[in-house]
C-alpha cells in the first residue's frame, strides 16, 4: 500500500518518537542475552546456518508492543513475526538483530534495524547498536548518530578514486559464483577490503568512514533501515543495476554518486 497522505510536522515528530521508542525497547530486550553463557540458537535454514535466538524474538516483540500502543493502524513487516496488515499506508520494517551470527560470537557489530515507509521505500531508518550505545538515524530531515561522543551529524564521504576506497561485505563468499565474480571485480580495484560487520558497515558509510558495501541475497528488512540512514547522509543505495533495492536482493551502497557509478560499472561487468 502506498501512503497517500502528507508527512506534516506532527506526523514527522510522531514517527521519530516512535522509532526511537522502538529502538529503546529492543535494546532493553536484547542486552540481557548478549554474551550470556547459556545463550542458544535455533537454525532456521535447511542447509547452512541461519540462527535465531530468544533475543531476536524478544526484541521484535518489544517493538511490536510499542507500535500497538503508539501507531496501531500502521502495517508491519518483521523478520521473526512476519507481516501485519495496516490501514494507514505506512509500514514498519523490522530486523530485531541483524547479524545474529555476530551476536552469537560476542562481537558488537550486530544491530537493530528499523524503517518506516510505503511500497515506494523507506522515509526513515534506524541502525541501533545497543552494546556500544550507538544509534544512527536518518530521514524526514534528520541525519545523526548518538553515541559515546555525543550527538553528531551524519555525512557520507566525499568522492575519491576507487583505488582509494574502503569496501565492506559480510561474507567473502558472496552469493552465487557469478555474484562472487562481480564482487571480486570491484574488490580488485579498491585499497582496502574488510568483512563481517553486517549492518554496522552501512552505518560506517553514513558516518563518513568507508566508501562501499556490496552484498547479495538481502531481504527488505536487511536493507530498508540502512538505506534510509545512508541516503539521509548523502549516500546512494541501489541494486546492482542501479535500480530500487528496498525489497532486497543485490545491494550496492555507496558514499556518493561518483564512487557508486564506478563500482556499478564493474559489477555489471
The domain ranges of the chain are: 9-153, 162-268
Residues in the chain: 269
- Cβ proximity of 170 and 214 under 8 Å: no
pLDDT tens for 238-255 read 999 999 999 999 999 999
Task: Identify the CATH homologous superfamily for domain 9-153.
Answer: Fructose-1,6-Bisphosphatase, subunit A, domain 1 (3.30.540.10)
What's the confidence (pLDDT) of residue 44?
78
Residue 1 has pLDDT above 60, yes or no: no
Q: Which CATH number fits domain 162-268: 3.40.190.80, 3.30.70.20, 3.40.50.720, 3.60.21.10?
A: 3.40.190.80
pLDDT tens for 31-61 read 999 999 888 888 876 667 778 999 999 999 9
* pLDDT > 70 in the chain, percent: 97
- With CA atoms as reference, report the closest residue to 133 among 115, 154, 112, 105: 112
Output the DSSP codes for 6-44: ---HHHHHHHHHHHHHHHHHHHHHHGGGTT-TT---EE-
pLDDT tens for 214-239 read 999 999 999 999 999 999 999 999 99
Q: What single DSSP character describes residue 162?
A: G
pLDDT tens for 83-120 read 999 999 999 999 999 999 999 999 999 999 999 999 99
- Cα 211 to Cα 18, 21, 97, 170, 262, distances in angstroms: 30, 30, 24, 15, 12
* pLDDT > 90 in the chain, percent: 90
Amino acid at each position: 500500500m502506498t501512503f497517500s497522505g502528507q508527512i506534516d510536522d506532527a506526523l514527522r515528530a510522531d514517527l521519530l518518537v516512535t522509532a526511537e521508542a522502538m529502538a529503546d525497547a529492543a535494546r532493553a530486550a536484547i542486552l540481557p542475552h548478549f554474551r550470556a553463557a547459556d545463550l542458544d540458537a535455533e537454525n532456521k535454514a535447511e542447509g547452512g546456518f541461519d540462527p535465531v535466538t530468544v533475543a531476536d524474538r524478544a526484541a521484535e516483540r518489544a517493538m511490536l508492543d510499542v507500535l500497538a500502543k503508539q501507531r496501531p493502524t500502521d502495517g508491519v513487516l518483521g523478520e521473526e513475526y512476519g507481516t501485519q496488515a495496516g490501514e494507514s499506508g505506512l509500514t514498519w520494517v523490522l530486523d530485531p538483530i541483524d547479524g545474529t551470527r555476530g551476536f552469537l560470537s560476542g562481537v558488537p557489530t550486530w544491530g537493530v534495524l528499523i524503517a518506516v515507509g510505503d511500497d515506494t521505500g523507506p522515509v526513515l531508518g534506524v541502525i541501533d547498536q545497543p552494546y556500544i550505545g550507538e544509534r544512527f538515524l536518518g530521514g524526514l530531515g534528520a541525519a545523526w548518530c548518538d553515541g559515546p561522543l555525543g550527538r553528531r551529524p551524519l555525512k557520507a564521504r566525499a568522492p575519491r578514486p576507487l583505488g582509494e576506497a574502503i569496501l565492506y561485505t559480510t561474507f567473502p563468499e558472496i552469493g552465487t559464483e557469478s555474484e562472487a565474480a562481480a564482487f571480486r571485480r570491484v574488490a580488485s580495484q579498491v585499497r582496502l577490503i574488510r568483512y563481517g560487520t553486517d549492518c554496522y558497515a552501512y552505518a560506517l558509510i553514513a558516518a563518513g568512514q568507508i566508501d562501499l558495501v556490496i552484498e547479495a541475497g538481502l531481504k527488505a528488512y536487511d536493507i530498508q533501515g540502512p538505506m534510509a540512514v545512508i541516503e539521509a547522509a548523502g549516500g546512494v543505495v541501489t541494486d546492482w543495476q542501479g535500480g530500487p533495492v528496498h525489497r532486497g536482493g543485490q545491494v550496492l551502497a555507496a558514499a556518493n554518486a561518483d564512487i557508486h557509478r564506478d563500482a556499478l560499472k564493474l559489477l555489471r561487468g
